[in-house]
Structure 1
Protein backbone atom coordinates (compact mmCIF):
# COMPACT_ATOMS: atom_id res chain seq x y z
CA UNK A 1 0.00 0.00 0.00
CA UNK A 2 2.77 2.41 0.87
CA UNK A 3 4.56 1.60 -2.38
CA UNK A 4 1.33 2.22 -4.32
CA UNK A 5 0.76 5.58 -2.65
CA UNK A 6 4.36 6.62 -3.22
CA UNK A 7 4.16 5.63 -6.87
CA UNK A 8 0.91 7.52 -7.27
CA UNK A 9 2.42 10.60 -5.63
CA UNK A 10 5.48 10.37 -7.88
CA UNK A 11 3.28 10.05 -10.96
CA UNK A 12 1.21 13.04 -9.90
CA UNK A 13 4.38 15.04 -9.26
CA UNK A 14 5.74 14.10 -12.70
CA UNK A 15 2.46 15.12 -14.35
CA UNK A 16 2.53 18.45 -12.50
CA UNK A 17 6.13 19.13 -13.55
CA UNK A 18 5.27 18.25 -17.15
CA UNK A 19 2.24 20.54 -17.10
CA UNK A 20 4.30 23.42 -15.70
CA UNK A 21 6.96 22.82 -18.35
CA UNK A 22 4.51 22.85 -21.24
CA UNK A 23 2.61 25.93 -20.01
CA UNK A 24 5.47 27.98 -18.55
CA UNK A 25 5.61 31.47 -20.02
CA UNK A 26 2.46 31.06 -22.11
CA UNK A 27 -0.54 33.34 -21.68
CA UNK A 28 -3.78 31.69 -22.78
CA UNK A 29 -5.89 34.08 -24.89
CA UNK A 30 -8.76 31.58 -25.11
CA UNK A 31 -10.12 30.34 -21.79
CA UNK A 32 -11.76 27.22 -23.24
CA UNK A 33 -15.20 28.27 -21.98
CA UNK A 34 -16.39 31.38 -23.79
CA UNK A 35 -15.21 34.20 -26.05
CA UNK A 36 -14.21 36.64 -23.32
CA UNK A 37 -11.60 38.99 -24.79
CA UNK A 38 -12.61 38.22 -28.39
CA UNK A 39 -14.90 39.93 -30.91
CA UNK A 40 -16.38 38.72 -34.18
CA UNK A 41 -16.65 41.06 -37.17
CA UNK A 42 -18.03 40.40 -40.64
CA UNK A 43 -20.51 37.78 -41.73
CA UNK A 44 -21.33 34.63 -39.80
CA UNK A 45 -20.52 34.10 -36.15
CA UNK A 46 -18.14 32.32 -33.80
CA UNK A 47 -18.93 30.23 -30.73
CA UNK A 48 -17.36 27.82 -28.27
CA UNK A 49 -18.34 24.19 -28.80
CA UNK A 50 -16.98 21.43 -26.55
CA UNK A 51 -14.18 23.71 -25.37
CA UNK A 52 -13.17 24.76 -28.89
CA UNK A 53 -13.68 27.88 -31.00
CA UNK A 54 -15.54 27.27 -34.23
CA UNK A 55 -17.20 29.45 -36.84
CA UNK A 56 -20.63 29.45 -38.48
CA UNK A 57 -21.29 30.98 -41.88
CA UNK A 58 -18.84 33.64 -43.01
CA UNK A 59 -16.65 35.08 -44.21
CA UNK A 60 -15.81 36.72 -40.91
CA UNK A 61 -13.02 37.29 -38.42
CA UNK A 62 -12.76 36.62 -34.70
CA UNK A 63 -10.05 38.89 -33.29
CA UNK A 64 -8.47 39.26 -29.88
CA UNK A 65 -9.39 42.63 -28.36
CA UNK A 66 -6.53 42.68 -25.84
CA UNK A 67 -4.26 44.86 -27.96
CA UNK A 68 -1.49 44.55 -30.51
CA UNK A 69 1.12 41.80 -30.28
CA UNK A 70 4.80 42.00 -31.19
CA UNK A 71 8.08 40.23 -30.42
CA UNK A 72 6.34 37.08 -29.29
CA UNK A 73 5.39 33.57 -30.31
CA UNK A 74 1.74 32.74 -30.89
CA UNK A 75 0.77 29.10 -30.46
CA UNK A 76 -2.43 27.84 -32.06
CA UNK A 77 -3.66 24.26 -31.76
CA UNK A 78 -6.35 23.40 -34.30
CA UNK A 79 -7.98 20.65 -36.31
CA UNK A 80 -9.99 20.62 -39.52
CA UNK A 81 -13.56 19.36 -39.42
CA UNK A 82 -13.19 17.58 -42.76
CA UNK A 83 -10.17 15.97 -44.40
CA UNK A 84 -9.35 19.51 -45.59
CA UNK A 85 -10.89 22.76 -44.38
CA UNK A 86 -9.94 26.39 -44.94
CA UNK A 87 -9.14 29.01 -42.32
CA UNK A 88 -6.22 31.15 -41.20
CA UNK A 89 -4.53 32.96 -38.34
CA UNK A 90 -4.23 36.70 -38.96
CA UNK A 91 -1.27 38.66 -37.63
CA UNK A 92 0.14 42.19 -37.85
CA UNK A 93 -3.31 43.72 -38.42
CA UNK A 94 -2.49 47.45 -38.31
CA UNK A 95 -5.68 48.76 -36.63
CA UNK A 96 -8.53 47.23 -34.67
CA UNK A 97 -10.74 45.45 -37.23
CA UNK A 98 -14.22 46.78 -37.91
CA UNK A 99 -14.91 44.41 -40.81
CA UNK A 100 -13.37 41.27 -42.29
CA UNK A 101 -11.53 42.50 -45.41
CA UNK A 102 -9.12 45.10 -44.03
CA UNK A 103 -7.12 42.38 -42.21
CA UNK A 104 -7.04 40.33 -45.43
CA UNK A 105 -5.55 43.16 -47.45
CA UNK A 106 -3.32 44.89 -44.89
CA UNK A 107 -2.38 42.21 -42.34
CA UNK A 108 -0.90 38.76 -42.95
CA UNK A 109 -2.89 35.56 -43.01
CA UNK A 110 -0.98 32.49 -41.90
CA UNK A 111 -2.89 30.03 -44.00
CA UNK A 112 -4.68 26.86 -42.92
CA UNK A 113 -5.45 24.84 -46.07
CA UNK A 114 -3.57 21.67 -47.03
CA UNK A 115 -4.96 21.47 -50.57
CA UNK A 116 -5.17 24.94 -52.18
CA UNK A 117 -5.19 23.37 -55.66
CA UNK A 118 -8.90 22.67 -55.18
CA UNK A 119 -9.43 26.45 -55.52
CA UNK A 120 -6.99 26.88 -58.44
CA UNK A 121 -4.38 28.19 -56.02
CA UNK A 122 -0.73 27.14 -55.67
CA UNK A 123 1.80 26.40 -52.91
CA UNK A 124 1.85 30.08 -51.90
CA UNK A 125 -1.59 29.41 -50.41
CA UNK A 126 -0.83 26.29 -48.35
CA UNK A 127 -0.84 25.71 -44.58
CA UNK A 128 1.83 27.73 -42.77
CA UNK A 129 2.57 30.22 -45.54
CA UNK A 130 1.82 33.92 -45.43
CA UNK A 131 -1.15 33.66 -47.77
CA UNK A 132 -0.09 34.26 -51.40
CA UNK A 133 3.22 35.84 -50.32
CA UNK A 134 5.59 33.04 -49.29
CA UNK A 135 6.43 29.59 -50.60
CA UNK A 136 6.48 26.72 -48.06
CA UNK A 137 9.76 25.30 -46.80
CA UNK A 138 7.80 22.16 -45.81
CA UNK A 139 4.23 20.85 -45.95
CA UNK A 140 3.63 19.27 -42.52
CA UNK A 141 -0.09 20.08 -42.15
CA UNK A 142 -2.17 17.12 -40.97
CA UNK A 143 -5.67 16.42 -42.38
CA UNK A 144 -8.81 16.45 -40.30
CA UNK A 145 -9.61 15.38 -37.72
CA UNK A 146 -5.97 15.21 -36.57
CA UNK A 147 -4.64 17.98 -34.33
CA UNK A 148 -2.05 20.47 -35.58
CA UNK A 149 0.19 22.84 -33.65
CA UNK A 150 1.16 26.10 -35.33
CA UNK A 151 3.70 28.46 -33.78
CA UNK A 152 4.07 31.94 -35.27
CA UNK A 153 7.01 34.03 -34.10
CA UNK A 154 6.94 37.80 -34.57
CA UNK A 155 10.54 38.95 -34.18
CA UNK A 156 10.75 42.58 -35.23
CA UNK A 157 10.39 42.59 -39.02
CA UNK A 158 10.75 38.81 -39.22
CA UNK A 159 7.88 36.30 -39.25
CA UNK A 160 8.64 32.62 -38.67
CA UNK A 161 6.03 29.86 -38.82
CA UNK A 162 6.38 26.28 -37.61
CA UNK A 163 3.67 23.67 -38.15
CA UNK A 164 3.92 20.44 -36.17
CA UNK A 165 7.56 21.20 -35.38
CA UNK A 166 8.67 21.89 -38.95
CA UNK A 167 9.55 25.33 -40.32
CA UNK A 168 7.24 26.41 -43.13
CA UNK A 169 7.88 30.16 -43.36
CA UNK A 170 10.81 32.45 -42.56
CA UNK A 171 10.00 35.87 -43.96
CA UNK A 172 11.53 39.28 -43.39
CA UNK A 173 9.82 42.53 -44.34
CA UNK A 174 11.05 43.57 -47.78
CA UNK A 175 11.71 40.02 -49.03
CA UNK A 176 10.53 39.30 -52.56
CA UNK A 177 6.87 38.32 -52.96
CA UNK A 178 5.03 37.24 -56.13
CA UNK A 179 2.59 39.46 -57.98
CA UNK A 180 -1.06 39.28 -56.99
CA UNK A 181 -3.03 36.67 -58.95
CA UNK A 182 -6.48 37.17 -57.43
CA UNK A 183 -8.33 40.29 -56.30
CA UNK A 184 -8.94 38.71 -52.87
CA UNK A 185 -5.21 38.40 -52.14
CA UNK A 186 -3.46 40.83 -49.75
CA UNK A 187 -1.98 44.09 -50.93
CA UNK A 188 1.78 44.11 -51.25
CA UNK A 189 3.83 46.19 -48.85
CA UNK A 190 5.36 46.17 -45.40
CA UNK A 191 3.34 45.33 -42.29
CA UNK A 192 3.76 46.90 -38.84
CA UNK A 193 5.95 45.40 -36.13
CA UNK A 194 2.94 45.18 -33.81
CA UNK A 195 -0.63 44.30 -34.73
CA UNK A 196 -3.87 42.63 -33.78
CA UNK A 197 -4.40 38.91 -34.31
CA UNK A 198 -7.49 36.99 -35.39
CA UNK A 199 -8.95 33.68 -36.52
CA UNK A 200 -10.70 33.46 -39.85
CA UNK A 201 -14.25 32.17 -40.11
CA UNK A 202 -14.03 31.19 -43.79
CA UNK A 203 -17.47 29.72 -44.42
CA UNK A 204 -20.05 27.12 -43.46
CA UNK A 205 -18.29 24.39 -45.47
CA UNK A 206 -14.86 25.23 -44.03
CA UNK A 207 -14.92 24.66 -40.29
CA UNK A 208 -11.69 24.61 -38.28
CA UNK A 209 -11.72 24.01 -34.51
CA UNK A 210 -9.27 25.90 -32.29
CA UNK A 211 -8.65 24.51 -28.81
CA UNK A 212 -5.72 26.74 -27.83
CA UNK A 213 -4.54 30.24 -28.67
CA UNK A 214 -1.61 31.32 -26.49
CA UNK A 215 1.18 33.86 -26.61
CA UNK A 216 4.66 33.99 -25.09
CA UNK A 217 7.05 36.98 -25.25
CA UNK A 218 10.41 36.47 -26.89
CA UNK A 219 13.34 36.14 -24.56
CA UNK A 220 15.59 39.18 -24.85
CA UNK A 221 19.08 38.29 -26.02
Structure 2
Protein backbone atom coordinates (compact mmCIF):
# COMPACT_ATOMS: atom_id res chain seq x y z
CA UNK A 1 0.00 0.00 0.00
CA UNK A 2 2.79 2.41 0.93
CA UNK A 3 4.69 1.60 -2.28
CA UNK A 4 1.55 2.30 -4.34
CA UNK A 5 1.11 5.72 -2.72
CA UNK A 6 4.79 6.57 -3.23
CA UNK A 7 4.75 5.50 -6.87
CA UNK A 8 1.55 7.46 -7.44
CA UNK A 9 3.07 10.58 -5.90
CA UNK A 10 6.19 10.25 -8.07
CA UNK A 11 4.07 9.85 -11.22
CA UNK A 12 2.01 12.94 -10.41
CA UNK A 13 5.18 14.94 -9.70
CA UNK A 14 6.69 13.94 -13.05
CA UNK A 15 3.51 14.88 -14.94
CA UNK A 16 3.31 18.25 -13.16
CA UNK A 17 6.96 18.96 -13.96
CA UNK A 18 6.44 18.14 -17.65
CA UNK A 19 3.34 20.34 -17.79
CA UNK A 20 5.32 23.25 -16.35
CA UNK A 21 8.06 22.84 -18.94
CA UNK A 22 5.60 22.61 -21.84
CA UNK A 23 3.49 25.61 -20.82
CA UNK A 24 4.23 28.58 -23.10
CA UNK A 25 5.76 31.70 -21.58
CA UNK A 26 3.16 34.47 -21.79
CA UNK A 27 4.05 37.45 -23.92
CA UNK A 28 4.59 40.69 -22.05
CA UNK A 29 4.45 44.22 -23.38
CA UNK A 30 6.63 47.11 -22.35
CA UNK A 31 5.75 49.04 -19.20
CA UNK A 32 4.01 52.40 -19.37
CA UNK A 33 6.38 55.39 -19.14
CA UNK A 34 5.37 58.88 -18.02
CA UNK A 35 5.40 61.41 -20.84
CA UNK A 36 4.68 64.48 -18.68
CA UNK A 37 6.01 65.07 -15.17
CA UNK A 38 3.23 67.45 -14.08
CA UNK A 39 5.73 70.11 -13.00
CA UNK A 40 7.41 71.61 -16.07
CA UNK A 41 7.98 71.10 -19.79
CA UNK A 42 11.16 69.06 -19.48
CA UNK A 43 11.23 66.50 -22.28
CA UNK A 44 9.13 68.64 -24.63
CA UNK A 45 9.88 71.25 -27.32
CA UNK A 46 7.61 73.87 -28.89
CA UNK A 47 6.99 74.97 -32.47
CA UNK A 48 4.60 77.72 -33.54
CA UNK A 49 2.71 80.56 -31.87
CA UNK A 50 0.57 78.72 -29.31
CA UNK A 51 1.64 79.22 -25.68
CA UNK A 52 2.29 76.16 -23.52
CA UNK A 53 2.63 76.03 -19.75
CA UNK A 54 1.89 73.89 -16.72
CA UNK A 55 -1.10 74.91 -14.60
CA UNK A 56 -1.97 72.89 -11.50
CA UNK A 57 -0.11 69.84 -12.86
CA UNK A 58 -1.92 70.10 -16.21
CA UNK A 59 -0.17 70.64 -19.55
CA UNK A 60 -2.01 73.62 -21.05
CA UNK A 61 -1.94 75.15 -24.53
CA UNK A 62 -3.65 78.46 -25.35
CA UNK A 63 -4.07 81.16 -27.98
CA UNK A 64 -2.90 80.33 -31.42
CA UNK A 65 -1.65 77.75 -33.85
CA UNK A 66 1.30 75.58 -32.90
CA UNK A 67 2.36 72.28 -31.39
CA UNK A 68 4.28 70.93 -28.44
CA UNK A 69 6.35 67.82 -29.18
CA UNK A 70 7.56 65.14 -26.79
CA UNK A 71 11.19 64.13 -27.30
CA UNK A 72 10.81 60.33 -27.65
CA UNK A 73 10.55 58.98 -31.19
CA UNK A 74 8.85 55.62 -31.63
CA UNK A 75 7.65 53.27 -34.35
CA UNK A 76 5.34 50.69 -32.74
CA UNK A 77 3.71 52.40 -29.79
CA UNK A 78 0.83 53.01 -27.46
CA UNK A 79 0.03 56.40 -25.91
CA UNK A 80 -2.76 57.49 -23.58
CA UNK A 81 -3.89 60.47 -21.52
CA UNK A 82 -6.76 62.58 -20.25
CA UNK A 83 -7.73 65.63 -22.30
CA UNK A 84 -10.08 68.59 -22.07
CA UNK A 85 -10.76 71.12 -24.82
CA UNK A 86 -12.53 74.46 -24.43
CA UNK A 87 -15.70 75.56 -26.19
CA UNK A 88 -15.25 75.42 -29.97
CA UNK A 89 -11.65 74.34 -29.46
CA UNK A 90 -9.73 72.18 -31.90
CA UNK A 91 -6.74 70.03 -31.02
CA UNK A 92 -5.25 66.61 -31.55
CA UNK A 93 -2.83 64.02 -30.22
CA UNK A 94 -0.17 63.35 -32.85
CA UNK A 95 2.03 60.27 -33.09
CA UNK A 96 4.80 59.13 -35.44
CA UNK A 97 5.16 62.78 -36.41
CA UNK A 98 7.89 65.28 -37.28
CA UNK A 99 7.76 69.11 -37.15
CA UNK A 100 7.31 70.66 -40.60
CA UNK A 101 10.53 72.25 -41.82
CA UNK A 102 8.90 75.06 -43.82
CA UNK A 103 6.30 76.44 -41.37
CA UNK A 104 6.54 76.43 -37.54
CA UNK A 105 2.74 76.71 -37.32
CA UNK A 106 2.12 74.01 -39.91
CA UNK A 107 0.67 70.57 -39.35
CA UNK A 108 3.16 67.95 -38.16
CA UNK A 109 4.06 65.31 -40.72
CA UNK A 110 2.45 62.28 -39.14
CA UNK A 111 -0.80 60.89 -37.75
CA UNK A 112 -3.31 62.72 -35.54
CA UNK A 113 -6.05 61.44 -33.25
CA UNK A 114 -8.50 64.30 -33.57
CA UNK A 115 -9.85 66.32 -30.62
CA UNK A 116 -12.75 68.47 -31.84
CA UNK A 117 -16.37 68.27 -30.74
CA UNK A 118 -17.81 70.40 -33.57
CA UNK A 119 -16.19 69.23 -36.79
CA UNK A 120 -17.78 66.60 -39.01
CA UNK A 121 -14.49 64.72 -38.52
CA UNK A 122 -14.76 64.81 -34.74
CA UNK A 123 -12.89 63.50 -31.68
CA UNK A 124 -11.54 60.02 -32.34
CA UNK A 125 -11.12 60.38 -36.10
CA UNK A 126 -7.70 59.61 -37.56
CA UNK A 127 -6.18 62.46 -39.56
CA UNK A 128 -3.11 62.92 -41.69
CA UNK A 129 -1.82 66.49 -42.24
CA UNK A 130 -4.96 68.57 -42.76
CA UNK A 131 -6.88 65.54 -44.08
CA UNK A 132 -9.56 63.36 -42.40
CA UNK A 133 -8.42 59.79 -42.99
CA UNK A 134 -10.46 57.27 -40.98
CA UNK A 135 -13.89 57.79 -39.44
CA UNK A 136 -14.70 57.40 -35.74
CA UNK A 137 -17.81 55.45 -34.76
CA UNK A 138 -19.49 58.20 -32.74
CA UNK A 139 -18.97 61.53 -31.01
CA UNK A 140 -19.07 60.84 -27.26
CA UNK A 141 -17.10 63.83 -25.88
CA UNK A 142 -18.15 67.36 -24.96
CA UNK A 143 -16.41 70.70 -24.57
CA UNK A 144 -14.96 71.49 -21.14
CA UNK A 145 -15.18 67.86 -19.98
CA UNK A 146 -12.25 65.51 -19.39
CA UNK A 147 -12.09 62.37 -21.50
CA UNK A 148 -9.61 59.53 -22.00
CA UNK A 149 -7.84 59.10 -25.33
CA UNK A 150 -5.63 56.13 -26.24
CA UNK A 151 -3.81 55.29 -29.46
CA UNK A 152 -2.08 52.08 -30.48
CA UNK A 153 -0.01 51.83 -33.67
CA UNK A 154 1.76 48.59 -34.61
CA UNK A 155 3.09 48.28 -38.13
CA UNK A 156 0.44 49.73 -40.43
CA UNK A 157 -2.45 49.02 -38.03
CA UNK A 158 -3.76 52.00 -36.03
CA UNK A 159 -6.45 51.95 -33.32
CA UNK A 160 -7.98 54.84 -31.38
CA UNK A 161 -10.05 54.56 -28.18
CA UNK A 162 -12.13 57.33 -26.57
CA UNK A 163 -13.22 56.70 -22.98
CA UNK A 164 -12.20 53.05 -23.44
CA UNK A 165 -14.52 52.62 -26.45
CA UNK A 166 -12.78 51.57 -29.66
CA UNK A 167 -13.61 54.32 -32.17
CA UNK A 168 -11.29 53.87 -35.12
CA UNK A 169 -9.32 51.08 -36.79
CA UNK A 170 -7.31 51.75 -39.93
CA UNK A 171 -4.38 50.43 -41.95
CA UNK A 172 -1.89 53.02 -43.21
CA UNK A 173 1.87 52.77 -43.68
CA UNK A 174 2.83 56.31 -44.74
CA UNK A 175 4.45 57.38 -41.46
CA UNK A 176 6.74 54.88 -39.77
CA UNK A 177 8.35 56.64 -36.81
CA UNK A 178 8.29 59.96 -34.98
CA UNK A 179 7.36 62.10 -31.99
CA UNK A 180 4.17 62.54 -30.02
CA UNK A 181 2.69 66.05 -30.17
CA UNK A 182 -0.34 68.03 -28.99
CA UNK A 183 -1.94 70.69 -31.15
CA UNK A 184 -2.98 74.25 -30.45
CA UNK A 185 -5.26 75.33 -33.29
CA UNK A 186 -6.71 78.82 -32.96
CA UNK A 187 -6.94 82.01 -30.93
CA UNK A 188 -9.19 81.90 -27.89
CA UNK A 189 -9.07 78.13 -27.40
CA UNK A 190 -7.48 76.04 -24.67
CA UNK A 191 -6.38 72.41 -24.66
CA UNK A 192 -5.44 70.63 -21.43
CA UNK A 193 -3.74 67.27 -20.94
CA UNK A 194 -2.70 65.22 -17.93
CA UNK A 195 -1.76 61.66 -16.97
CA UNK A 196 0.14 61.20 -20.24
CA UNK A 197 1.87 57.84 -20.67
CA UNK A 198 3.40 55.88 -23.52
CA UNK A 199 5.04 52.55 -24.15
CA UNK A 200 7.38 51.27 -26.84
CA UNK A 201 5.87 48.22 -28.52
CA UNK A 202 8.91 47.82 -30.77
CA UNK A 203 10.73 46.06 -27.95
CA UNK A 204 10.86 42.26 -28.32
CA UNK A 205 8.53 40.26 -26.10
CA UNK A 206 9.73 37.70 -23.55
CA UNK A 207 8.30 34.83 -25.61
CA UNK A 208 10.74 32.59 -27.48
Query: Could you tell me the TM-score, scaled by structure 2's length?
Result: 0.74
- Listed one character per residue, the Cα deviations across residues 148-173 of structure 1 (whole Å, up to 9, x for unaligned) are 11010011111100000111110101
1:122-137 alignment, distance < 5 Å:
122=120, 125-131=121-127, 132-137=132-137
Q: Which residue of 2 aligns with 1:91?
A: 95
Contact in 2 for aligned 1:80/1:144 (Cα 8 Å): yes
Q: Which residue of 1 aligns with 2:54?
A: 48
Q: Which residue of 2 aligns with 1:73?
A: 78
Residue 216 of structure 1 pairs with residue 188 of structure 2: no
Q: Aligned pair in 2 of structure 1 residues 204, 102: CA closer, same or farther (>3 Å)? A: closer
Q: Cα distance, 1:85 vs. partner?
A: 2.4
Q: Cα distance, 1:147 vs. partner?
A: 1.4
Q: Which residue of 2 aligns with 1:9?
A: none
Contact in 1 for aligned 2:62/2:191 (Cα 8 Å): no
- Listed one character per residue, the Cα deviations across residues 28-59 of structure 1 (whole Å, up to 9, x for unaligned) are 11000100010110112211111111112220
* Partners of 1:136 and 1:56 in 2: CA distance: 26
Q: Cα distance, 1:76 vs. partner?
A: 1.8
Q: CA RMSD in A?
A: 2.0
Contact in 2 for aligned 1:77/1:147 (Cα 8 Å): yes
TM superposition outliers: structure 1 runs of 4+ over 6 Å: none
Contact in 1 for aligned 2:134/2:170 (Cα 8 Å): yes
* Partners of 1:208 and 1:155 in 2: CA distance: 27
* Partners of 2:37 and 2:162 in 1: CA distance: 22
Q: How many residues align?
A: 169
Q: Cα distance, 1:102 vs. partner?
A: 4.7
Which has the higher Rg, Structure 1 or Structure 2? 2
Q: Aligned pair in 2 of structure 1 residues 205, 127: CA closer, same or farther (>3 Å)? A: same
* Partners of 1:100 and 1:64 in 2: CA distance: 16
**Secondary structure, aligned partner of 1:89:** strand
**Secondary structure, aligned partner of 1:171:** strand
* Partners of 1:71 and 1:78 in 2: CA distance: 22
* Partners of 2:186 and 2:150 in 1: CA distance: 24
Q: Which residue of 1 aligns with 2:44?
A: 38
1:34-183 alignment, distance < 5 Å:
34-66=40-72, 68-82=73-87, 84-93=88-97, 95-96=98-99, 99-103=104-108, 106-116=109-119, 122=120, 125-131=121-127, 132-141=132-141, 143-173=142-172
